[in-house]
């Protein structure tokens, strides 16, 4: 209980006198701060208002958080757009492998997977004419040019993309180049 409440309860002062005294105290406190500010201005001192500083700091932190969230959202939107482009490239340019009867094995991460391809598709994969890409949960074959466009966007989608130049170098240094491989030999 404050002194004012005790005096009111005891009946020593009435409500109007208590309010006047309270107003007078507030007025004096305000005048003191105003005087201190005037003196500080005259002497060149800067009075620091802590609440203003805290509010300013809170606004700066909020703006930084907002910028960070916006950056993250932009990156996510860009990733979605890239994935949509890759999906469109694959779906529009995939090579039909329905009649494949040869099992083609390849590595997907740490697992060995296989798809069925035709003889012609197997040769094209070996010479780098086509490439094997990951498409959702499955795998598709696409032409070399499309695979290069996909690799520009996300290289992790390309699982098998052979280059023809290594084959040519191997043929030049091959001591068995004079010997023909039988057509019916399967590896």
pTM of the model: 0.53
Q: What is the pLDDT of residues 102-143, one digit of tens each?
A: 888 988 888 898 899 998 998 888 888 999 998 888 899 999
In this prediction, residue 43 carries a pLDDT of 66
In this prediction, residue 57 carries a pLDDT of 93
Query: How many CB atoms sit inside 10 A of residue 178's CB?
Result: 6
Which one, of 40, 186, 179, lies nearest residue 122 by Cα? 186
Distances (CA, A) of 36 to 32, 44, 46: 6, 12, 11
Which one, of 156, 157, 161, lies nearest residue 144 by Cα? 161
Q: Are 125 and 102 in contact (CB under 8 A)?
A: no
Q: Are 158 and 146 in contact (CB under 8 A)?
A: no
């Amino acid at each position: 209980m404050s002194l004012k409440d005790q005096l009111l309860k005891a009946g020593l002062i009435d409500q109007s006198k208590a309010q006047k005294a309270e107003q007078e105290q507030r007025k004096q406190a305000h005048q003191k701060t105003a005087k201190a500010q005037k003196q500080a201005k005259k002497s060149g001192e800067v009075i620091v208002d802590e609440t203003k500083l805290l509010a300013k700091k809170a606004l700066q932190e909020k703006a930084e958080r907002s910028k960070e969230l916006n950056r993250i959202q932009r990156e996510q939107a860009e990733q979605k757009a890239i994935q949509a482009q890759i999906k469109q490239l694959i779906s529009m340019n995939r090579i039909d492998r329905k009649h494949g009867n040869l099992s083609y094995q390849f590595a997907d991460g740490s697992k060995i997977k296989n798809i069925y391809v035709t003889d012609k598709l197997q040769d094209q994969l070996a010479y780098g004419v086509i490439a094997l890409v990951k498409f959702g949960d499955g795998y598709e074959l696409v032409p070399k040019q499309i695979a290069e466009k996909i690799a520009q966007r996300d290289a992790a989608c390309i699982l098998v993309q052979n280059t023809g130049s290594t084959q040519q170098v191997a043929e030049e240094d091959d001591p068995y180049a004079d010997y023909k491989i039988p057509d019916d030999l399967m590896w």
